[in-house]
Amino acid sequence: MSKYNAPLTDMRFVMFDLLKAEAQYARLPGGETATRDVLDAVFDEAAKFAEQVLAPLNAVGDEEGCHFDKTTGTVTTPAGFKQAYAQYISGGWGGLTAPEKYGGQHLPESIGAPLKEMLDSANLAWGMYPLLSHGASEALKQHGEEWQREVFLKPIVEGRWTGTMCLTESHCGSDLGLLKTRAEPAAEGNGADGTYAVTGTKIFISAGEHDFTENIVHLVLARLPDAPAGTKGISLFIVPKFKTGKDGKMRERNAATCGAIEHKMGIKGSATCVMNFDAAEGWLIGPPNRGLMAMFTMMNTARLAVGLQGLALIERAYQNSLVYARERLQMRSLSGAKFPDKPADPLIVHPDIRRMLFTQKAFAEGGRALGYYAATLVDLVERSPDADERKRADELLSFIIPIVKGLLTEVAIECTYAAVQIFGGHGYIHETGIEQFARDARITTIYEGTTQIQALDLLGRKIMQTQGVGLKHFLEEISAFCHANAQNAALAEFVAPLAIAAKDWADLTQAIGKRALANPEEVGVAAVDYLFYSGYVALAYFWARSVAAADASAQSGDFKQAKRSTARFYFARILPRTLTHAATLRASAESLMAMPDAQFG
């Protein structure tokens, strides 16, 4: 059975030594209480909960899955899930970063990053329930009227209710402009009571129905009568499972029911529901026809969260791979027996096993730096008293989010693949728990926008539509880092290639931009390669910074040496992936676009 130990040392290194989060918290509203000793205690407690409560339920959830009762429309979660949720709520985890006014502790958002990583490493499927609540909270916080926050946000923060995001319909996923669910002002008083009748079917609704809480708050995208076609005619509605009015009183069951749950490749403990809305009572949230905008604000944090899911699975895969690579004896080292007293050497002596372990380690620790970095930008966007700082952080965050989501989920596929490979045949059977990571990971490159969507978001919106303002900020950071360390001999081996990679990145972006002006298809042709290219260079930056931060820290000698060795591995054996992406980015669009569709076969 696979284990999990929260990597607290590295988490703290990233938060405090690398990102200097403590100093940032000290100057942000709500961050005053986030002192180092408080955070240490929070992390310790979260680790205990993840390791002792959630991790043992991971295989259970996969084996048992969720149960759907067709006659009652109810969903029963796997054994232990409901109790774990109760513990989570009673521990106060649900409201950690929510406003005090609605029952939260108002800690900075980025404190949620290591917590989220721990929950997801321990049990990705279970982690979906609080994740969706968090998304719904964000929407309510940012777009709800005051009474909506009182009535719907508060019980979510308190954990008494949970939330969902109801976007997808069977004929539209990436392309929400096609959605058909409609909302009509309720007949009584022609909508004068403010309610709407929401009708339609949504699919792939995570946590759409479950047994954790007494009520569920669905946030549903739908069209008002006479709304414009496409994405400009979509509004957002609050549709509670049990009708709830402005007085906050739960009334009778709403016509928002679960019609089925999906049987999936992984995250089987997460209930993925078909939701039927049959003139269900709902409330408009935010302005009419601006629902997609509201959803987009939620999406930023949701995409960051899915990037952290990727990180979480990489870490879990790495831990288990490492234990096995040390225990499993198989063949001798090519340079002679390393453990002559044993019948064979452990796997870890073999170079390609080391390559896979190093790859996992480099993406886990580098990905942690990248992911938490993005989370600290969220703090600045939300809480910085300085408008310029808020603006810059927002531009940087918007730019970095598709990289975090796209890269960390794609390399999670690679790293969970590697775990199965290291375990060999034993990795392919349920018993060891390893193949579950690969199945669970597989959804992360799809939901909250596929890798393709992330790539188009990065290159099409975040680069082309803003003249690359976020990239400019990021390159300035890299440049400042390189400049500050120009005389640091101990860092020269990283700073020099990083400076070159950053320059190439800028040049390549320019070149693509020029071609895209001539032919809009070029953006789509280049997008995915550009996403990977950007991700690998971004991680090179964080690896160089990690070595610098480790050297300057009070961490152990082994810790510092391991950071340096892993950075060397990264620069020598991962960063060269940019060569292929750069070559492909220089290839003509013709090679992809010229063949008539019919000739595919």
| Two tokens, residue 16 | 């405090």
3-state secondary structure of 253: strand
Nearest to 186 by CA among 247, 239, 143: 239
CB of 115 closer than 8 Å to CB of 46: yes
User: Quick one: tokens of 499?
Assistant: 């400076």
Please count the other Cβ atoms lying within 10 Å of the Cβ belonging to residue 323: 13
- Cβ proximity to its own copies, 492 vs 572, nearer residue: 572
Q: Report the residue number, 52 or 580, with the smaller CB distance to its own copies.
A: 580
Q: In whole angstroms, give the CA distance from residue 214 to residue 88.
A: 16
Residue 442 has φ and ψ, to the nearest 5°, of: -60, -25
Three-class DSSP labels, 314-339? HHHHHHHHHHHHHHCECCCCCCCCCC
Nearer to its own copies, 53 or 550 (CB): 550
Phi and psi for 518 in degrees, rounded to 5?
A: -80, -30
**Least gap, CB of 322 to its own copies (angstroms):** 6
Taking the complex as a whole, how short is the minimal distance between the CB of residue 355 and its own copies, in angstroms?
6
Q: Are strands 242-244 and 235-240 parallel, antiparallel or unpaired?
A: unpaired
Enclosing H/E stretch for 548:
helix 521-551
CB of 165 to its own copies, least distance (A): 13
Give the containing element (helix H, strand E) for 505: helix 492-518
d(CA 222, CA 220): 6
Burial class (CB in 10 A: 0-12, 13-18, 19+), 601: exposed
- To its own copies, the closest distance from the beta carbon of 352 in angstroms equals 5
Measured N-to-C along each axis, helices 492-518 and 469-484 cross at an angle, to the nearest 10 degrees, of 160
Q: Pick the closer one to its own copies by CB: 191 or 259.
A: 259
> In terms of CB distance, is 242 or 559 closer to its own copies?
559
Residue type, 476: E
Q: Which is closer to its own copies, CB of 205 or CB of 377?
A: 205
Min. distance of Cβ 431 from its own copies in angstroms?
7
Q: Please, what is the end-to-end C-alpha distance for the chain in angstroms?
A: 45
Return the HEC string of 341-408.
CCCCCEHHHCHHHHHHHHHHHHHHHHHHHHHHHHHHHHHHHHHCCCHHHHHHHHHHHHHHHHHHHHHH
Q: Return the structure tokens found at 224.
A: 């008002």
| Phi, psi at 166, each rounded to 5° | -105, 95
Least spacing, CB of residue 519 vs its own copies, in Å: 7
CA distance 547 to 537: 16
Quote the CA–CA distance of 601 and 589 in Å, as a whole number. Answer: 21
Question: How buried is 538 (Cβ within 10 angstroms: 0-12 exposed, 13-18 middle, 19+ buried)?
Answer: buried
- Which residue's CB is nearer to its own copies, number 253 or number 586? 586
* Residue found by looking up tokens 């076609």 in the block: 229
- Nearer Cβ to its own copies (262/477): 262
Q: Which is nearer to its own copies, 348 or 393 (CB)?
A: 348
- Minimum CB distance to its own copies, residue 401 (Å): 19
Residue 482 identity (one-letter amino acid): C
Find the catalytic residue in 315, 365, 395, 448: 448
Half-sphere exposure of 497 (CA within 13 A, CB side): 20
Smallest separation, CB 444 to its own copies (Å)? 10
Measured between alpha carbons, how far is 317 from 420 in angstroms, rounded to an integer?
A: 9
Does the active-site annotation cover 448? Answer: yes
Residue 9 or residue 33: which is nearer to its own copies going by CB? 9
CA distance 492 to 98: 43
- The least CB distance from residue 524 to its own copies, in Å, is 4
Catalytic center residues? 448
